[in-house]
A = this chain, B = another copy of it.
Amino acid sequence: VRGTPRSLTELAPRECLRLLGSVSVGRLVFTTRALPAIRPACHVIDGSDLIIGSDADVPAFASAGPGLGPVLAYQADAIDPLSRLGWSVVVVGPARQVTDPGRIAACHQLLAPWVAGTRDHVIAIPSNMITGFRLAASG
């Protein structure tokens, strides 16, 4: 229950990746108009990339030079609202907007459409900079 002592344990990258792959919805974290922004999105793990489907307009993609991508974060968690136990995982890394039509089509196969009538963006982030923790009951 809420008042129970709990422990926070950092997770190994492999375990973080496994947990991230066990859910399909997370949150894309970026900056817009110099303010922190966050928006729910959906994801799949595709080889060494995390593939994100999002309706968010991420301004940094426009300002980044060719071949460069803004550093974004993507977070997913599963935390019980009552016990507040569970896990959280964050991937941080340089993001690329997927523009190759073939790869977009393949990603759309993996990612169910997010919002009807909205042009979903497909974003790829290397999945190697991944951290996470587990909140567990202690004692």
Please tell me how many copies of the chain the complex holds. Answer: 2
Residues in B whose Cβ lies below 8 Å from that of A90? 37-39
Interface size class, chain A: 35 or more
A6's partner among B7, B35, B81, B115 (CB-CB below 8 A) is B115
Among A13-21, A26-34, A96-104, the stretch in contact with B: A26-34
Q: Is A118 an interface residue (CB 8 A)?
A: yes
Complex-state Cα separation, A23 to B84, whole angstroms: 11
Question: Within the complex, what minimum Cβ distance (angstroms) separates A113 from chain B?
Answer: 7
At the interface, yes or no: A66 with Cβ under 8 Å from chain B? no
Task: List A residues at the B interface (Cβ < 8 Å).
Answer: 2-3, 5-8, 23-25, 27, 29-31, 35-40, 42, 55, 71-73, 75, 77, 79, 81, 84, 88, 90, 92, 112-118, 135, 138
